Amino acid sequence: MRINFHFILFGLFIITFIFGTHLLGLCQENERITVEVDGRPKQYDVIETKRYEIVEVEDSAVTPDALQSVAAQAVSDAEKDAVAHLNRTLWFSTGCFFPLVGPILSQRYQPFMPTARVLGKSPEYVAFYYDAYKVKTKKLQFNWALSGCLVGAPIGAYLITLLYRNTRD
């Protein structure tokens, strides 16, 4: 059985289109950021990671009103970043090519947290930001995977029906 070179090339093109941004991220170096903390510049190496660390923080003297404004700002920033960082093509394609598994996978996948956005921020801001970012990202991933599922499932069923009819004749 001879496989046409054009089909292989087309398949590689589709895989590169869907997963290319993630493959390129494996070879990037760490980013160095300078942030002003308490009036002094500090340098940080930014490493995107899926691992979370719990750090013990002393009781803060933040009033409830200030905490609400910090929470509102953190949630707003997190939702904007979640929309900007989402790979819509990846999740739509996942839902389209894997109709039943795609939406489930979108809920199980833990998104990368943009650590550069929270450098120099208060612990309260960081906590609200990470929670809001995770919730918004998972919601968007699920919606795009479900959209792909709704498009891919009928097309897949139609193609399977055509294949079945052609093999019966």
Nearest to 62 by CA among 114, 115, 127: 127
Residue 66, domain extent: 29-168
Which residues, including other chains, have CB under 8 Å from residue 51's CB and lie 6 or more apart? none
Please check whether residue 42 lies inside any domain of the structure.
yes
pLDDT of 56-86, one tens digit each? 444 455 566 666 788 888 889 999 999 998 9
Q: What percentage of the chain has pLDDT greater than the value 90?
A: 22
Residues 120 and 105: their CA atoms lie apart, in Å, by: 33
Q: Do 42 and 35 form a contact (C-beta atoms < 8 A)?
A: yes
Please check whether residue 4 lies inside any domain of the structure.
no
pLDDT attached to residue 27: 43
Nearest to 92 by CA among 13, 9, 17, 23: 17
Q: Please indicate whether residue 151 or residue 57 has the higher confidence score (pLDDT).
A: 151
Residues 36 and 114: their CA atoms lie apart, in Å, by: 18
Please check whether residue 153 lies inside any domain of the structure.
yes
Q: For the chain, what is the domain count?
A: 1
Q: For tokens 């979640």, what's the residue?
A: 82
Is-above-0.75 flag for pTM? no
